[in-house]
Amino acid sequence: MVFRLPPLATLRIFDAAARRLSFTLAAADLHLTPSAVSHAIRTLELWLGTELFRREGRSLGLTSEGESYAALVGRALDLLAEATDRLPGRRATGSLFVSSEPPFARRWLLPRLAGFTRQFPDIRITLDTSGEPASPEAVDVAIRMSNLDKSADNRVRLVQEELVPVCSPSLKRQLDRLTNTEILARGPLIRVTGVASDWEQWIQATGIRAPPAREAGLHVDSVLIGLDAAVHGLGIVLGRRPLVDEDIERGRLVRAIDHAAPSGYWYWMITKDSAFDRPEVKMFRKWMLYELGAGVERQAARQTGP
């Protein structure tokens, strides 16, 4: 059977331009120049004998023919990508776009990412922490937190978040002879505005007798600043595992009280259906699950001793 197809490169460029409704943004996504995108679209329109885009002032829009064609072309390219990714034995090469919340990216992912790149040097990673990537359709993997069980084929539950009081080693030495109740009374405690009730949640979960809640001490506006403040000896903060694991392993922070409590949240890896079985995504998923599991085992070993 002979297929009458336009140049395949022009279809890929058309798909990007139709998704973005901008030759400039499509060019940035494809690492081309806007003029190259414009030339490819013109070539495709001449081959098809119809206009696909129309100018609307400074904006770009699809014609009715362009809208219909874009839907079919997008599905066809997705099928081609999926068929390629499902080929057995295909090496994990190419790119991986990872979207992550800033605290997880900074405190857990970045300190360990060099290990992944050493194992898979052919995979190029783009890490986005904006929460709303400029090109959401380009995201292969998103790491998010949720207190709801949203298990699905394209969602993998990574690890449960735990709350554990941590402080600097120097502050810990000052607190060593105090009981847990005295530590909570004299702290001082660092509270993160917006989740300040975490201390009460932790106290209730652990069953530790605590003095009446005090508002004295440092108040900060983010988990990251709270951890940095604790490193500098400004008080005891409720660390969130696994975010605080690296600080504990490096000795920057230590447990002020050896009691942990679940926060009620889990970290999830969310993947596009079309990308779930890509070799790059599978390797990244297996690596993350291994690293998170190994981190849990290391922390448990520290608590129980040899």
CATH superfamily of 94-158+266-302: Periplasmic binding protein-like II (3.40.190.10)
The confidence score (pLDDT) of residue 7 equals 87
Residue 300 CA to residue 245 CA, distance in Å, equals 12
Residue 156 CA to residue 293 CA, distance in Å, equals 14
| Identical fold, 8-85 and 94-158+266-302 | no
Q: pLDDT band at residue 2, thresholds of 50, 70 and 90?
A: low
Burial of 147: CB neighbours in 10 Å, binned 0-12, 13-18, 19+: exposed
pLDDT of 89 strictly over 60? no
What does the domain layout of the chain look like in residue ranges? 8-85, 94-158+266-302, 161-263
CATH superfamily of 161-263: Periplasmic binding protein-like II (3.40.190.10)
Assign domain 8-85 one CATH number from 3.90.1560.10, 1.10.3720.10, 1.10.10.10, 3.10.350.10.
1.10.10.10
Residue 177 CA to residue 168 CA, distance in Å, equals 16
Distance of alpha carbon 189 from the chain centroid? 29
- Beta carbons within 8 Å of 233's beta carbon, 6+ residues apart: 167, 168, 170, 171
In tens, the pLDDT along 276-298 reads: 778 888 889 999 999 988 544 44
In tens, the pLDDT along 247-277 reads: 999 999 999 998 999 988 999 998 877 777 7
